[in-house]
Amino acid sequence: MLKKGLNTGDCWVEKLKTSSREEINEIQLEKIKKQVSYNYKNSIFYQRKLDAAGIEPGDIKTWDDFHHVPFMDKDEHRAAQEESTAQFGHPFGMLACAPLDKIVRLSFTSGTSGTPTIYTLTKNDIKVTNMLNARKYRFIGLQPGHIVINGFGLSMFAGGVPVVDALWDYGVCVVPVGAEARSRRLLESAQLIKADALFCTPSFAEYLAEQAGDVLGKPIRELGLNFLVCGGEPGAGVPEFKKKMEEAYGTRLFDINGAVQPLHCISCDSDRYYGMHFLSEDYCYLELIDPETGRPLELTEGVTGEQVFTWLDWEGTPFLRYRLGDILQIHTDPCHCGGPGMRIKVIGRTDDMLIVKGVNVYPSAIKDLLVKYMPRVTGAFRIVLDRPGPKVEPPLKIKIERGEGLEGSALDKLKHEIEEDMSSVNRVRPEIFFVSPYSLERKENKTQYIELDPNN
Ligand SMILES: [Zn+2]
């Protein structure tokens, strides 16, 4: 199905299929030893951090040694930028490992809270990033000759110009329309050039589908797109959303991850959502930790924890053991699609996590579970807390919108089923209250799943 000669220099995805976990870990450990030495030698921040922890680069010989390297997070990243600005007049002096004349691209996080954190890339880092992106494009079957509309915001956003660059480098035809060019322009362009693929955020994909009737006078599926690739915010991994968008566009929705960070993954060609195949383990060492204790968790089938990653073989700003506050679930059993690598599901943020009798509960896990019960429920719900989390005194109270016309014994039966299901799947027995359909507030951007009981 795929054209030969595409990125022939990169065989990692093929190697993943035949390598054991031990072999992959061995490659990673060798790279880690070099990366720690490189960071120590070239970055004031890392020299100080490792010195404070009493670690010399030569000390790292085993995984256990490496797990003593302290974590870093966004607050520390920002503090290092500020310190650098005060000392050097620019924000790169503490963290950047490559000299400034080798830095050719800066990427920012979207900066929804606080100052954006900056990532510095050298020419070689861009080459690697483009290669990791190419793996994902090749995995889903994009080929030269395909026309791709990039509908991610082009300005200061990791999914904008860097994705355009990666697509060009891969060899497809890219139209960098960007989310800035209102929906009319994007939809008309897609129609004019007979685009094969659209890359954008899940919320923009939904908005375009709604606008197509007014703008084009026909449903969006008649554009004849073959690929819808969504990332940059949560949504594409929610089964209910995936189904809705695939029906609207008449094509497969692929959930994609990885632009600034080295964790590059993409979901496979399936009706069901099996998580995203992790295709960059040679450039990214992923750990899952218990968000409370920081203890590393073994990567076994179904394990859930906070993601921590380490850049391998990078020059610009290769972070070590960076915590971004995202909660992932890992699937290590082979995927039914036959594709390689472990799969990753983004479950939520550490900020949303609740702890009920020592068990971690995420609103997104409840959302996933409720999808099974539709249309007996609408899918909308709220977790009601007596006092702010994350610790919750049991029972965990959940308000759920019942489906139209459901009452009496049918409702009692449903309550019992959901409570049983949650206690076996999520290991927490909730107390459920039903409310009328569509009585909970709908928000365009982000729904808050947790509310405080005003009576407390
Ligand atoms: Zn798969």
For the stretch 384-443, pLDDT in tens is: 998 887 889 899 999 999 999 988 999 999 999 999 999 888 788 999 999 999 899 876
| Rounded distance between C-alpha atoms, residue 130 and residue 1, angstroms | 22
Domain 354-452 has CATH 3.30.300.30: yes
| Rounded distance between C-alpha atoms, residue 305 and residue 290, angstroms | 5
Taking the centre of ligand 1 as the mean of its atom positions, its distance from the CA of residue 373, in whole angstroms, is 25
Query: How much of the chain exceeds pLDDT 90, in percent?
Result: 68
| Rounded distance between C-alpha atoms, residue 121 and residue 104, angstroms | 6
For residues 217-224, give the mean pLDDT: 97
Taking the centre of ligand 1 as the mean of its atom positions, its distance from the CA of residue 360, in whole angstroms, is 27
Taking the centre of ligand 1 as the mean of its atom positions, its distance from the CA of residue 246, in whole angstroms, is 17
Single out the residue of 187, 167, 168, 169 nearest to residue 177, CA to CA: 187
Taking the centre of ligand 1 as the mean of its atom positions, its distance from the CA of residue 282, in whole angstroms, is 19
Taking the centre of ligand 1 as the mean of its atom positions, its distance from the CA of residue 25, in whole angstroms, is 22
Predicted local distance difference test score (pLDDT) of residue 334: 93
Taking the centre of ligand 1 as the mean of its atom positions, its distance from the CA of residue 267, in whole angstroms, is 6
Taking the centre of ligand 1 as the mean of its atom positions, its distance from the CA of residue 229, in whole angstroms, is 15
**What are the angstrom distances between the C-alpha of 23 and each of 16, 67, 222?**
10, 19, 47
Predicted local distance difference test score (pLDDT) of residue 169: 95
Task: Give residue-wise pLDDT tens across range 318-367.
Answer: 999 999 888 999 999 999 999 999 999 988 877 777 888 878 888 878 88
Taking the centre of ligand 1 as the mean of its atom positions, its distance from the CA of residue 266, in whole angstroms, is 9
| Rounded distance between C-alpha atoms, residue 31 and residue 314, angstroms | 10
Taking the centre of ligand 1 as the mean of its atom positions, its distance from the CA of residue 338, in whole angstroms, is 6
**97-106, 319-328, 365-374: range with lowest mean pLDDT:** 365-374
Taking the centre of ligand 1 as the mean of its atom positions, its distance from the CA of residue 441, in whole angstroms, is 35
Taking the centre of ligand 1 as the mean of its atom positions, its distance from the CA of residue 270, in whole angstroms, is 7
| Rounded distance between C-alpha atoms, residue 264 and residue 135, angstroms | 9
Q: How confident is the model at residue 265 (pLDDT cuts 50, 70, 90)?
A: very high
Q: How confident is the model at residue 110 (pLDDT cuts 50, 70, 90)?
A: low
Taking the centre of ligand 1 as the mean of its atom positions, its distance from the CA of residue 339, in whole angstroms, is 5
**What are the angstrom distances between the C-alpha of 283 and each of 13, 174, 261, 400?**
12, 26, 10, 43
Taking the centre of ligand 1 as the mean of its atom positions, its distance from the CA of residue 330, in whole angstroms, is 13
Taking the centre of ligand 1 as the mean of its atom positions, its distance from the CA of residue 272, in whole angstroms, is 10
Q: How many CA atoms lie within 13 A of 24 on its CB side?
A: 22
Taking the centre of ligand 1 as the mean of its atom positions, its distance from the CA of residue 250, in whole angstroms, is 20
Taking the centre of ligand 1 as the mean of its atom positions, its distance from the CA of residue 302, in whole angstroms, is 15
Taking the centre of ligand 1 as the mean of its atom positions, its distance from the CA of residue 334, in whole angstroms, is 8
Question: Is the backbone of residue 270 left (phi > 0), alpha (psi -120 to 50) or beta?
Answer: beta
How high is the mean pLDDT of the chain? 90
Residue spans per domain, the chain: 354-452
Q: Which residues pair with 452 in a beta bridge?
A: 385
| Rounded distance between C-alpha atoms, residue 106 and residue 166, angstroms | 15
Predicted local distance difference test score (pLDDT) of residue 239: 85
pTM of the predicted protein model: 0.83
Taking the centre of ligand 1 as the mean of its atom positions, its distance from the CA of residue 118, in whole angstroms, is 33
Taking the centre of ligand 1 as the mean of its atom positions, its distance from the CA of residue 177, in whole angstroms, is 30
Taking the centre of ligand 1 as the mean of its atom positions, its distance from the CA of residue 14, in whole angstroms, is 14
Taking the centre of ligand 1 as the mean of its atom positions, its distance from the CA of residue 393, in whole angstroms, is 38
Does residue 444 surpass a pLDDT of 80? no
Taking the centre of ligand 1 as the mean of its atom positions, its distance from the CA of residue 445, in whole angstroms, is 29
In order, the DSSP letters of 177-226 are --TTSTHHHHHHHHHHHT-SEEEE-HHHHHHHHHHHHHHHSS-GGGG--S
Taking the centre of ligand 1 as the mean of its atom positions, its distance from the CA of residue 251, in whole angstroms, is 17
**With contact defined as beta carbons under 8 Å apart, do 69 and 320 qualify?**
yes
Q: Is the peptide bond before 390 cis (omega within 30 degrees of 0)?
A: yes
Taking the centre of ligand 1 as the mean of its atom positions, its distance from the CA of residue 232, in whole angstroms, is 20
List b or e across 276-311, with b for residues whose CB sees 16 or more CB atoms inside 10 angstroms.
bbbbbbbbbbbbbbebeeeebeeeeeeebbbbbbbb
Q: How confident is the model at residue 446 (pLDDT cuts 50, 70, 90)?
A: low
Taking the centre of ligand 1 as the mean of its atom positions, its distance from the CA of residue 89, in whole angstroms, is 47
Taking the centre of ligand 1 as the mean of its atom positions, its distance from the CA of residue 139, in whole angstroms, is 10
- What's 356-399 look like in SS3? ECCEEECHHHHHHHHHCCCCCEEEEEEEEECCCCCEECCCEEEE
Predicted local distance difference test score (pLDDT) of residue 146: 97
Taking the centre of ligand 1 as the mean of its atom positions, its distance from the CA of residue 359, in whole angstroms, is 29
- Of the ranges 152-166, 177-191, 274-288, which is most confident? 274-288
